[in-house]
Structure 1
């Protein structure tokens, strides 16, 4: 993954965090999820907000929704609202389908001084001045993404900080169009770059092309949820 490189490292950190929670008198569960590719499609601030809104409307990437539901299930059980995963998931799915989750999000935005109309008018979100398509000339199946390289590419675009005092540009980032296991044909779009300048867009395009791996054989992605530490 982009942060911890092996599942063993992730399990050790999860065990430590669960122990900290329990020592503080809190019921704690860690959910281990794969980071072999970006969650959802968006990498960048406004792009991820738009994707979160889409997910609350039932129109977002399936993997993002699945992880959110998995985390929500554990939260409902830990809070004592339900006593089993099946009931928890049904409750969460109903909240999503009814629009209550989206209305709650709008309340959060308003309480923090933001404009809740962004849920209906995504054009109100910051928009990069330059958007370009990244196309790959290889044929095969996506076998891997270098997620750390993608994160660094987004940072260099201005979506993250290299140093504490660096400014953040909320409009820039990447949209990944191909997931592990997807079939690739020459000339297909694999991503979009949202940038402040042509030079930064060109540099990010090269970063994205260097981050993708293509196999001639079909590839099965790893499970999204790798396990739980209780």
Structure 2
């Protein structure tokens, strides 16, 4: 059946009635939409039917394959080494890509990383990178290959050639209330990752108030779907479930997170961020055949920070992307926001909970995020936490520090930060950062080593 001959109504009806679509039927639908042979209203109907009735594993893989082959699939086989990337499902203060990519590259594993921008309460890797003066993420595929071959890593944005069907479908899902579908999310993530030319993938699937998956069981289902798709395409894939009940690290906001990433690469990073960083990096080093176990990979990850090779690689990659290495080597020279205001606690107690979603929205209101895709972001905006869950705070002590060039937002953002924090008279249980590992053999409890 050619694209011209498909009967979209019959396929929409089939999915509406909970029946399974064949690989060919899904391929025809996606191809027709990509070639403007299928109008938005019919694709919207298909997305809603899929959202309500679900897609099974075979359908999710077929959707991924169709979006993957709607554009160029990079062949990096001529570049030596096992190419490994990492993907996070997004959170507040999640700057891990900026720390782990140079660590892994410095250990000899090529990292071809295509990242996205922030939207809503979550930050985006590209926005963080672009807070570095001159740093260019919009590069040609030819330059992408050049940097990867030269530096063992590359940090780029999605081009028009990479999974164009996903780009169009995501925009449609965003305006038709069909974003929160596990198979649709999985297809979107994996089509872009597989198009990068990777051989293996590590996934950081977050759950909690600051994540898109609020419930752990939903995060597990997403991780299982992502791993299943990766393995179907012959890419060894390992996922970890990590906690996003509070911001990761102490810095939230684009340049503030770059600065904290520099701290991490120089051995001074926050414990929670570095624990997950070394696990993800160690797993990437293992999948890249530069370690015989994940544990050995973690040790190599820690050693690359300790001996300075990871930070040296970071400076080198910033230079390759035309970024200003001066502010990387001397971050105190970076221009600060016009207004830096403390958030003061009105009472004493242990910090029992932090609403990471609400805090992410505070960062957005201060200027660090965007409500719509075309909004500008302020690289200097955001906040620095002084306390985390489990810490004791005295009355009149500083909870956090707001950084903004929007003076009018300060009173409201101070109030929101205070509301986002719950105090208790007793010390709360410590947050478990890493809950599970998901691989081709199933779901496993993660035991901290």
TM-score range, shorter chain: over 0.9
Query: After alignment, is 94-103 or 219-228 more displaced?
Result: 219-228
Instruction: Answer whether contact 2:390 2:430 (CA < 8 A) is retained.
Output: yes
Aligned-pair RMSD on alpha carbons? 1.1
Q: Find the counterpart in structure 2 of residue 177 from structure 1.
A: 386
Compare relative contact order (CA 8 Å, sep 6+) and give the higher one, 1 or 2.
1
Give the number of aligned pairs. Answer: 230
Distance in 2 (alpha carbons) for counterparts of 1:40 and 1:177: 10
User: For residues 126 and 151 of structure 1, what CA distance do their matches in structure 2 show?
Assistant: 22
Of 309, 318, 331, the residue aligned with 1:122 is: 331
Query: Which residue number in structure 1 is paired with residue 352 of structure 2?
Result: 143
Secondary structure of residue in 2 paired with 1:119 = helix
Give the C-alpha shift of residue 106 in structure 1. Answer: 0.6
Counterparts of 1:87-166 in structure 2 under 5 Å?
87-166=296-375
CA contact (8 A) 2:366 2:406 kept: no
For residues 430 and 334 of structure 2, the distance between their equivalents in structure 1, rounded to whole angstroms, comes to 32
Q: Is the 8 A contact 1:194 1:201 kept in 2?
A: no
Structure 1 length-normalised TM? 0.96
1:50 aligns with 2:235: no
Unaligned runs of 5+ in 2: 1-207, 440-449
Taking the aligned partners of 1:106 and 1:70, their CA distance within structure 2 comes to 23
CA contact (8 A) 1:30 1:229 kept: yes
* Inter-partner Cα distance in structure 2 for 1:89 and 1:29: 15
For 2:262 and 2:397, locate their aligned partners in 1 and report how far apart those are by CA, in whole Å: 27
Aligned to 2:400: 191
Shift of 1:44: 0.3
Gaps of 5+ in 1: none
Q: Name 1:14's counterpart in structure 2.
A: 223
Secondary structure in 2 aligned to 1:49?
A: helix
The alpha-carbon distance between structure 1 residues 171 and 86, as it changes in their structure 2 partners (threshold 3 A), is same
Q: CA deviation at 1:156?
A: 1.3
Q: Within 5 A, what are the aligned runs for 1:53-68?
A: 53-68=262-277
Post-superposition Cα deviations, 1:40-96, rounded to whole Å, max 9, x if no partner, equal 001100000000001111112111111110101111111122121332122111110
Of 39-48 and 196-205, more deviation after overlay is shown by: 196-205
Query: Highest CA radius of gyration, 1 or 2?
Result: 2
8 Å CA contact retained: 1:46, 1:126:
no
Give 2:285's aligned residue: 76
Q: State the distance in 2 between where 1:202 and 1:19 align.
A: 47
CA distance in 2, matches of 1:100, 1:117: 18
Given that residues 72 and 92 in structure 1 are in contact (C-alpha distance below 8 angstroms), is that contact kept between their aligned partners in structure 2? yes
Cα distance in 2 for residues equivalent to 1:204 and 1:24: 45
Contact 1:126-1:170 within 8 A present in 2 as well: no
SS in 2 for 1:156: helix
Contact 1:45 1:170 in 2 (8 A): yes
Cα shift readout 1:135-170 (whole Å, capped 9, x = no counterpart): 111211101000000111111111111011100110
Shift of 1:126: 4.1
SS of 2:237 mapped into structure 1: coil
Q: Aligned equivalents of 1:23 and 1:221: distance in 2?
A: 37
2:417 matches 1:208:
yes
Relative to the length of structure 2, the TM-score reads 0.50
Shift of 1:119: 2.6
* SS of equivalent residue, structure 1 residue 29: strand
Secondary structure of the residue aligned to 1:75 is helix
Native 8 Å contact 2:252 2:382 kept in 1: yes
